[in-house]
Homo-oligomer: A and B are copies of this chain.
Amino acid sequence: MEAAPRTSNEKAGVTPLLTFSILSSFLKIHDKMKAAAMTLKKLAVDDPRRVRHSLKVGLTLTVISVFYYVKALYSGLGQSTMWAVLTVVVVTEYTAGATLYKGLNRVIATLLAGALGLGAHRLAALAGNDGKSVLLGVFVFLLAAMVTFSRFVPEIKARYDYGATIFILTFSLVSVSGYRVEELIGLAHHRLSTVAIGVAACMATSIAIFPVWAGEELHNLVASNLDTLASFLEGVGKEYFEQKLESHKNLEGASFLIGYKSVLNSKAMEDSLANFARWEPGHGHFGFRHPWKQYLKIGALARQCACSMQSLNGFISATEKSFEELRFQQNIKTACAVMCSESGKALAELASAIRDMRPPTATAGHLGNAAKVGSQVKMMVPSETTTVEEVLLYATMANLLLEIVHSAKHVADAVVQLANMAKFKHAEEAKSGVVKHNGDGESLHVVIDVRN
């Protein structure tokens, strides 16, 4: 090739170019597949329950399929197979609560709509052969329209949306089938039993084999959100007020500074978990009537707190330069750091109390300290060397921090309320099973006194 005449240069240039472009597209595909593999691996490593869930779905489906495959071969009922398989695929969800919600909705809606469909058939039959199909059409129209409209009611949407769909589905199927009523009863019976078997299989798998409880997920999500907020405050206290203002270290992109954003966006997740948790039986430390709604309240207050943090974060990055030039006054800097770390400790204590399912103890003390220092900051401001601009910046900073302390107090109140509603016990009580009125109980009182 090197000896090729000069005139074929262009051609010789094209071939390597072509080879190169083929190679590079292979490399691109390789890169993409590698990236996809990394994504999948990360999903699996981040939460191994995802892998377990996938295997569970495969297992349930295979068991039901094989069972019915064998049965269908012997009895020749190719069609009845279908409903059990279909039910398993459609009903199985990641959390036990979601599976229970869909399963129960499906069974009950199938039962009710089946009965109503049979009734509609009988009623329509009174109108003679010609009128029957017209009447059935009218019934289907009215029922579908009414049930569809009812799905716009928020309560129905939250608890019975899937049931409403299955209700319309079953009613229409029963109504439009060309069978006589006698055949239909047998068919309905058959269908209901296969649906019930499918649902039972899903529920059994989702509850008995490595269950993922929506309630527990909600519990952990709320606790970890409080932890995220705590680490924001502790990070700001330590890395910003204690170090950064000395060393001019660049904090941009620090992970603790952006964690609150995930808290701001967690409402939809919390709502859906709370909806599903209501369908779950008691599990672990959670009773059947565990106050799941209170978690939503805590979540809402945590988001309010995260909002204040966003304001603080915005203020910090907008005024970074100014503070560096002005040289933050030492006593104010320390006070701000204390406010941050104390309210951070309070939030961390709330998170750990939720996790351990015990009433929070040290929170009130930490928040009391933060508030006390906060009111002192106001008095500190005007030192002799302070310029007007400085005063303004300090004042805003102090007020933003006080707002965070304030909203952390609201969160603390909601967690105390949760502890009362769910009858959380102190570690000692939980062990002995008896409520003690000495020891820790008293120290709790002292802590509460500090708060008032």
Contact = CB atoms under 8 A, between A and B. Distances in A.
Contacts of A381: 388, 392
Contacts of A341: none
A165 B89 contact: yes
A141 B143 CA distance: 38
Nearest to A377: B392
A308 B303 contact: no
A168 B61 contact: yes
Given A85-B176, A314-B406, A62 B137 contact: yes
A69 B308 CA distance: 61
Contact of A388 (B165, B303, B382): B382
A81 interface: yes
Contacts of A54: 144-146, 148-149
A332 to B, nearest CB: 12
A401 to B, nearest CB: 11
Interface stretch (A72-80, A323-331, A363-371, A413-421): A72-80
Interface string A351-389: 000000000000000000000000000100110000011
A308 to B, nearest CB: 6
A177 B144 contact: no
Copy count, this protein chain: 2
A136 interface: yes
A315 interface: yes
A85 B173 contact: yes
Contacts of A137: 62, 65-66, 69
Q: How large is the interface on A (under 10, 10 to 19, 20 to 34, 35 or more residues)?
A: 35 or more
Given A149-B51, A178-B73, A378 B389 contact: yes
A148 B53 contact: yes
Interface string A40-54: 100110000011011
A177 B267 contact: no
Contacts of A378: 388-389, 392
Interface of A: 39-40, 43-44, 50-51, 53-55, 57-59, 61-62, 65-66, 68-70, 72-73, 76, 78-79, 81-82, 85-86, 89-90, 133, 136-138, 140-146, 148-150, 152-153, 165, 168-169, 172-173, 175-179, 264-265, 267-268, 303-304, 307-308, 310-311, 314-315, 318, 378, 381-382, 388-389, 391-393, 395-396, 398-400, 403, 406-407
A190 to B, nearest CB: 13
A260 to B, nearest CB: 10
A314 B318 contact: no
A316 B140 CA distance: 56
Contacts of A148: 53-54, 57-58
A172 B65 contact: yes
B50 A152 contact: yes
B141 A85 contact: no
A133 to B, nearest CB: 6
Contacts of A175: 65
25 contacts: A40-B150, A43-B152, A54-B145, A57-B144, A58-B143, A61-B140, A61-B168, A65-B175, A69-B136, A76-B178, A85-B169, A85-B172, A86-B169, A89-B165, A264-B307, A265-B267, A267-B268, A268-B268, A304-B310, A307-B307, A311-B400, A314-B407, A318-B406, A391-B392, A392-B399
